[in-house]
Amino acid sequence: MHIAIIGAAGMIGRKLSERLVADGSLGGHAVNRLTLVDVIEPGRPAGFAGRVDASAVDISVPGQAARIVGTRPDVIFHLAAIVSAEAELDFEKGYGINLEGTRALFEAIRLAHLDDGYRPCVVFTSSIAVFGAPMPDVIPDDFNLTPLTSYGTQKAMSELLLADYTRRGFIDGIGIRLPTVCVRPGKPNKAASGFFSGIIREPLAGQPAILPVPDTVRHWHASPRSAIGFLIHAASIDLQPLGARRSLTMPGVSASVGEQIEALRSIAGEKAVSLIRREPDELVMKIVGGWAKAFAPERATSLGFVAETTFEEIIRVHIEDELGGRI
């Protein structure tokens, strides 16, 4: 099986590559080729005996998506995106990458399909940012999409493209609306949600962390381990039961910032919590204030998608996977 990962240099892309190499198969099929692309050249996963092609590619540049599609991957994981705060600050860049890049990929697949019947499985990472206020405290699967950010709008538009290209038979697509992935390892990114990870990751490493929003802010979270599990599961199951509704909200944990801090206190003590500094940021508060608090992801759970059930579990996953089990 040949698998392509677009956005392979990012944290999720790297972890997905490593998981595929460790498993050696996907959906019962041996993985013997990986095509890894990003705007910077991705690293090659260690221990893979098959063929790896890694290159720097911007799929929003004309002709670049066709290069990837020309290798005819069986499964394409489309992870590439400009994150929320950056997409809000740079309107043209956000639409160029998040929408036009996605459409360029789908169009390249459509043209290949017209040429020789090529029809890959496409797993698209959407976001819970497709929902916006006013909304209930717990959002059901059939709630309408009313994004209040450019990022959420770009993801919602891409979901519609995914559904239409699937309906027309060009791709077999599934969109997974990721919760905020927490605790993200490594350095902070430009996502407005970055502080959710920062107030856990930095104190666990003995470093100060900035909290730009009130403790009352509540949000929907899942660990990187769960996010990878979502992607693997999405590419392994029969997608026909999705029908025309091709995008699913993933399970997760609803936690307030205050509950996050209490979970940190219970695991790492007061010394860790004392490293959190409150510095209000109006832009971040404006973006995050319109985000969803909790979901009832019944479609996803009925199809076997699973995540953590408490925020303490999420912290312990970070300690196990990133800190060698010790703090």
Residue 64 tokens, joined: 């670049």
Residue 4 tokens, joined: 């392509």
Taking CA atoms, 69 is separated from 35, 117, 153, 308, 315, in Å, by 10, 13, 26, 35, 38
Which listed residue (95, 118, 151, 165) is catalytic? Answer: 151
128 — phi, psi (to 5°)? -70, -5
Q: How far apart are CA 267 and CA 264, in angstroms?
A: 5
Q: Are strands 25-26 and 247-249 parallel, antiparallel or unpaired?
A: unpaired
The backbone region for 56, taken as left when phi is positive above 0, alpha when psi lies in -120 to 50, beta otherwise, is beta
136: part of which helix (H) or strand (E)? none
Scanning the structure block, which residue is given the tokens 């929408």? 99
Nearest to 126 by CA among 155, 147, 102: 155
95 has catalytic annotation: no
Q: Is 25 helix (H, G, I), strand (E, B) or coil?
A: strand
Q: How far apart are CA 54 and CA 37, in angstroms?
A: 6
Residues with catalytic annotation? 151
